[in-house]
Amino acid sequence: MIGAVDIGGTKIAVGMVDGAGRVLCKMELPTGADFDYADGLDLVVGMLRDTARNANGEVSGIGIGSTGPVDPITGEFGDIDFLPQWRRKNPVEDLERIFKVRVALENDADAAALAEAGWGAGRAKSRLVYVTIGTGIGGGIVLDGNLYRGVGRAHPEIGHQVIDPSGPLCSCGFQGCWESLAAGPAMAKWLEGKAPADYPHRQGLTARRICELALEGDELACESVQREAYYLGLGIANLVNLLTPDVIVLSGSIMKSSSLFLGGIRDTIRQGCRFVPFEKTELALASLGEDTNLIGAARVWHYRFGARGLGVQRW
């Protein structure tokens, strides 16, 4: 039974996950920019103990998935904007000291990629790309069962591939990044810029609301959805051309309305991927549900320490 810790922008979730990827028990708490690390660590420790007790078991190990830059080798947080008081702190060392078990840390998108590869839509696939599309765009890559890492074992930022250099400015410093064009806020921003002053749905406009309006037949919302599908398709087509994976697993809040986008995405892939066997790359929806990040955190531990059942540490 693995203790799973999911650290996100607005909450921390903790749960117990069994060896088949099933969440046995979970708890969560809200966070904020003023959330102190020592206090947060105490709360995480308490939730790990409570969930283990509620699941009638003992913690065999702990896996952590976290939004933002993390160092999976040292176990340190990087410059995470949403929890500034956690920067340069080391939850791996602290939880190992408290629980006397091995602890592993990964970026949450890499953790989710490992979960879908091991227990989800990418099971039995050799080459998987995981893409999550919500308030931002992120992902992870698993090749032949191994998590892909770049130089310095860095996490690849697939959301910051440039799609249109004349596009909107992104926080990364470039213009027209995939995230700046196709993440949820980009849908809302585009429609707000196109809508006339008397547009009746301007108030509280979100990507979710735009999808609802498109299903109701709103012309401007349908145009926004068509544009979103095109830009999603461009980014995914780039991944197909570069990596020719067995499967691309799509996740995130935007994909809750996947029926609106998949047709356009596939059209764009057919148009731009003629020099690779694109038809052999499956587009699949993430299958692990709302607990993907918790399951991913547990999978991080299995990946790192339980490789092939030999207990061999793997990076």
Would you place residue 307 in the very low, low, confident or very high pLDDT band (cuts 50, 70, 90)? low
Structure tokens at 201: 């749905």
Q: What are phi and psi of 245, to 5 degrees?
A: -75, 165
* Contact yes or no for 258/250 (Cβ under 8 A): yes
Q: For 167-192, what is the mean pLDDT? A: 94
Structure confidence by residue, pLDDT tens digits, 48-61: 999 999 999 999 99
CB distance 282 to 248 below 8 Å: yes
If you average pLDDT over residues 259-270, what whole number do you get? 97
Strand partners of residue 4: 15, 63
Rounded CA-CA distance 297/291 in Å is: 10
Q: What is the mean pLDDT of the chain?
A: 93
- At 312 the pLDDT is 44
Confidence of residue 154 (pLDDT cuts 50, 70, 90): confident
pLDDT at position 155: 84
Q: Structure pTM?
A: 0.90
CB atoms within 10 A of CB 111: 33
Helix (H) or strand (E) holding 39: helix 37-54
* pLDDT beyond 50 at 183: yes
Q: Is 313's pLDDT higher than 70?
A: no
Residues 183 and 201: their CA atoms lie apart, in Å, by 20
Mean pLDDT of the 98-115 span: 95
Please report which helix (H) or strand (E) contains residue 140, including its range.
strand 137-143
CA 135 centroid distance within chain: 11
- For the stretch 1-17, pLDDT in tens is 999 999 987 889 999 99
* pLDDT at res. 310: 37
Q: Helix 219-243 to helix 207-215 angle, to the nearest 10 degrees?
A: 110
Q: How far is CA 66 from CA 194, 211, 218, 220, 309, in A?
A: 36, 28, 38, 36, 25
**The pLDDT of residue 315:** 60
